[in-house]
Amino acid sequence: MPSEAEILDAALDLLDAGGPKAVTIRGAAAAIGAAPHAVYTYFADKAALERALLERLLDLPEKITGADDWRSEVEQLALELRRRLAAHPGAVPLLIGGPLDGPGPWRFGERLLTLLTEGGLDPAAAARGSYAVMVFVLGSIALEVADVPGAGALPPETERVDARRAALSEVPAGTYPRTAAAAGVMATWVGTEQFRWGLQRLLDGLALHP
Amino acid sequence: MPSEAEILDAALDLLDAGGPKAVTIRGAAAAIGAAPHAVYTYFADKAALERALLERLLDLPEKITGADDWRSEVEQLALELRRRLAAHPGAVPLLIGGPLDGPGPWRFGERLLTLLTEGGLDPAAAARGSYAVMVFVLGSIALEVADVPGAGALPPETERVDARRAALSEVPAGTYPRTAAAAGVMATWVGTEQFRWGLQRLLDGLALHP
DNA sequence: ACCTGAACACCGTTCAAGT
DNA sequence: ACCTGAACACCGTTCAAGT
């Protein structure tokens, strides 16, 4: 009855329902009606199960449509990764917690390298730049996901932006005046708008040093 | 015998010796020779212990010396945070895994806001910009720490750069040609040099949109 | 208030045994 | 090869009882 795919399905359900800590060997085994040790036939240990789960979520589509230049193509690619991970917030701590290797991260990095090269960056700048973009994209998603308490799906974006604004306005204004004031002046602070804005500022900087 | 400080000392030892998963209520209790439940007198639950541990690592010094303009001051501040976290790599998953509130993150954000405002950014751009910088800094550190297997202290930087280069050169060159080639063209890729370069590109972009 | 000690409901992983 | 079932050495947290 058990199979690699079936175990991963079960693990993904656990991830979505209870967050990264809910992904357990025993839980996945129980979900498919097998003994705990049955999982070890398909995955060497819990880390291997987590890696396989991540790989499954990182198969970004080969073609991105609706982008007319390299900068908006980078943005679309980043937004696509962001969408994937927002759909499974529990995966983010797993992704950020382990080394970025394997086909998923390689595909993402390769596409960034290609786009930055098309944008006119020399190989060294493209290499450094693609890593900087990866850092920004994953850091943004990580902080955004970390902001949300609980384990289930992310609440609607407007709600998250409001929650962030509310949290900022509760910062002690005496000791952190600018931080408290930021609740009033910011346009969005977290959310897609902030994500795109920050990414474009980084791309601005990269374009200055081709 | 137990006290809040003593428990935190023990928890920090556990963190440094065995990584974030080694920080346990029972482990800290055992280290100070108390029963597991004694910890609950000082910390409501494990999450509270982790938060207190993080707060202890994030008391950045008020003055940064040796910086003559706002950009290098931002860089020095970011480098200081990076040093702190590099000294306790196990803390990074904890920091990135929870919401960025509490005095430590607030102080860091407030100082970024002040520096960006000094740099001529209007309040909205400073707010968005400071968040972008935070994202970049924490994302960089997270990816760099995640790259290192095992739980102890980070190996020397030259070693980590070499390891990253070696990992890149083992990427299948047929499917990911640019990624594999990056092992040869990059200057450092991870490490302080890459960190500073990426941060400066982001600051370039921020300076363009004051 | 603060501690101990036992207990409950979990973990990952290992071992011995089956088919 | 792949599974079961029992076991080992852990968890966080709760409960009852002490002082």
Residue of A nearest to B170 (CA): A101
State the DSSP code for B42. T
CB A208 within 8 A of CB A187: no
Backbone angle region of B70, left / alpha / beta, with phi > 0 → left and psi within -120 to 50 → alpha: alpha
pLDDT in the model for residue A68: 82
Per-residue pLDDT at A1: 66
Q: From the alpha carbon of B44, which nucleotide's C1' atom is closest?
A: D13
Is residue A173 within 8 Å of residue A181, measured between CB atoms?
Answer: yes
Q: Do B110 and A177 touch (CB under 8 A)?
A: yes
Residue of A nearest to B197 (CA): A128
Q: Exposed/middle/buried for B34, CB within 10 Å: 0-12, 13-18, 19+?
A: middle
CA closest to C1' of C15 belongs to A37
CA of A102: how far to CAs of A52, A58, A156, B165, B180, in Å?
10, 10, 31, 15, 13
Rounded CA gap, B39 and B41, in Å? 5
Take residue A186 and report the two structure tokens written for it.
């910011």
Comparing CA positions, the residue from A100, A80, A161 lying closest to residue B131 is A161
Nearest nucleotide by C1' position to the A32 CA atom? D3
Alpha carbons A74 and A115: distance in angstroms, whole number: 7
**pLDDT value of residue A194:** 94
Q: What's the confidence (pLDDT) of residue B185?
A: 73
Instruction: Pull the structure tokens for residue A50.
Output: 């987590």
Q: Number of Cβ pairs closer than 8 Å across A and B?
A: 195
Q: Are A80 and A115 in contact (CB under 8 A)?
A: no
Tell me the nearest-neighbour CA distance from A142 into chain B, angstroms: 7
Q: Which domains does chain A have, with CATH numbers?
A: 64-208 (1.10.357.10)
DSSP labels, B139-170: HHHHHHHHTS-SSSSPPPHHHHHHHHHHHHHT
pLDDT at A167: 87
Using DSSP, state whether A46 is helix, strand or coil.
helix
pLDDT tens digits, chain B, 210 residues: what are they? Answer: 689 999 999 999 999 999 999 999 999 999 999 999 999 999 999 999 999 999 999 987 777 767 789 999 999 999 999 999 999 999 999 999 888 888 999 999 999 999 999 999 999 999 999 999 999 999 999 999 988 877 778 889 888 888 888 888 899 999 999 999 988 776 567 789 999 999 999 999 999 999
The segments of chain A whose pLDDT lies below 70 read 1, 186-188
pLDDT of amino acid B188: 62
Distance (Å) from the alpha carbon of B95 to chain A's nearest alpha carbon: 9
Tell which phi-psi region holds residue A153, choosing left (phi > 0), alpha (psi between -120 and 50) or beta: beta
